Structures are given as structure tokens and as C-alpha cells.
Amino acid sequence: MRRFFYDSFQDYARENGIKKVDFILKTNDTLNKRLLEDRVIQQLQHISEFHKVSCGFNGYLKRRINNDTCKLVEEYKVQIKRLCKHLERISEDGPKDKIEEYLLNFGEKMLNRAQSCIEVIEENNYIDLISRSMKKVEICLTDVDFDNLVRLQTLEVANFDDVAYNLVEMDAYYLLSKIKRKGASISYKKCVDKFCYFEGLKEDSKNFILALLSYPHEFMRVYEKYRRNKKSWTEEEYIKRFDNAVKEDGCSLISEVEKC
């Protein structure tokens, strides 16, 4: 008879065939760029296997897991509002320093890109995706990198600490976004197609993931540090960080103008 009470989700996963290990070493295949795309697709399949075990959990946990459903998208919406208001103020009052001059010249392009990403998400039945996720009790591993999830004889996981209720699409995003920010040259659309096939997901899910991958995450991250005055960087250092962030964000995967 299956248990109903567990100390942690790790216990539930272990009972259902997922092995907890202390660490996972990256193999040469993982580090070989020529094999990266195949390795990524394989990792997406491992993620989908994890979801088949994790999703639908209806037991009780002594140590509860977080509910991250909607969290990232709502965070992005707040970032957009803040940048929009800031750019309006700079436009009305004029820039007060070199950083605001930079934002006046380049910020609107990044703002438009961010807004387009949210528009695509909302136009592709985002509320329905949330509803499906909640009904199926979808649970994400979150830390889905090669050094945390692997399949040998069975699925092995090193760290369960970031497990959370969330749309299964988010685990694909977490993996692909990290690879994209490193500048890896793979077909992200092909990888997303494969993941949706593994999960039995439709076009809305594909467009949701591509839109998240297109969001200027790194640019907005640097902007938030500037807005909060969290770093004692010079104006030149901030501008350098913004330029590097634009490079890391790469091109949009939902734009007909930008091509990856």
C-alpha cells in the first residue's frame, strides 16, 4: 500500500524509483559543443521522465514545497512597468547621467522586446496553461542542469531543494535559458518542439517557452540592480554590464526580424 505522508518530496521521489545521489559529474559529452544539441534533447527527455513521476502528487509533506506557478511571468510584468515609467520620466525630464542616456537610446528597444514576449504568452492561452498545471498538480525540479539530473540505471538527482509546484514548461525554460545565455549555437526551436512532444504539449506551450526564452532577462537584471542602487559600479561599468547583458540575452525566438 502506497504511503500518503512523507517527510519531503525527495522521499516520495525515491519511493517512486528516482535515486538521490550526493553529486553528478559532468561527462565529456556534456562539455563537447558538437554534441550539445543532442545532449540537451536527451536532458529534456530526462526532465519529462521526472515529470511523469512528480506530477499528480496528492500526498502530504512535512516539509512543504514552494508554489512558483505564475511567479516568473508576474515578476517580468513588474519589471516592464518599472522600466516603462523610468523611460517616460527620462524622456520628459532628460537624462541625468550617462546611464540614463544609455537607457534613453537603447532601453525602449529592450522594453518593446519584453512587452512582445508577455503579449505572446497572454495570446497563447496562458490562463489555460495555468489551469491545466494546477489540475494535474504539476511539479518541477527547477534545477535541471546536467550536474543535477541524469539517467543511468534509473533517474538520479543530486539536489531536490528547488522542487516546486509549477508549469512543466518551466523546467524546459530553466535548462534552455541557461544554455542560451552562454551563447550556445543550437536550434532552440527544435529543442522546444522535442520537449513538447515528450510531454504531449501543444502549440500554446511551445510559444510560451519560446517567449520566455526571448525575454531580455539579463538586461532587466542589470536594470534592477541599477534601479535599486545595489552595486557600487561606475557609470562606465554599468554601461559595460548592460552591453554584456544584451549579448547574453541573444536574439529573440519570436521575432520575424531577428534570426537565431
5-249 in CATH: which number? 3.90.1200.10
Mean pLDDT of 148-175: 97
Write down the pTM of the prediction.
Answer: 0.93
Residue-range domain boundaries for the chain: 5-249
For residues 124 and 192, what is the distance between their CA atoms, to the nearest angstrom? 15
Beta sheet of 155-157, edge-to-edge order: 19-20, 155-157, 149-151
Alpha helices in 137-254 (DSSP H): 169-181, 188-199, 203-214, 217-228, 235-249
SS3 category, 139:
strand
Question: In the prediction, which pLDDT does 230 show?
Answer: 77
Residue 225 has pLDDT above 70, yes or no: yes
Question: In the prediction, which pLDDT does 34 show?
Answer: 67
Residue 53 has pLDDT above 60, yes or no: yes
Question: In the prediction, which pLDDT does 25 show?
Answer: 79
Residue 233 has pLDDT above 90, yes or no: yes
Query: Within its chain, how far is the Cα of 182 from the centroid?
Result: 14
Mean pLDDT of 58-64: 91
- Residue 75 pLDDT grade (very low, low, confident, very high; cuts 50, 70, 90): very high
Question: In the prediction, which pLDDT does 172 show?
Answer: 98
What is the residue whose three cell numbers read 539579463?
218
Question: In the prediction, which pLDDT does 14 show?
Answer: 94
- For 176-209, how does the pLDDT look when each residue is reduced to its tens digit (9 = 90+)? 999 999 999 899 999 999 999 999 999 999 999 9
C-alpha cell at 49: 521522465
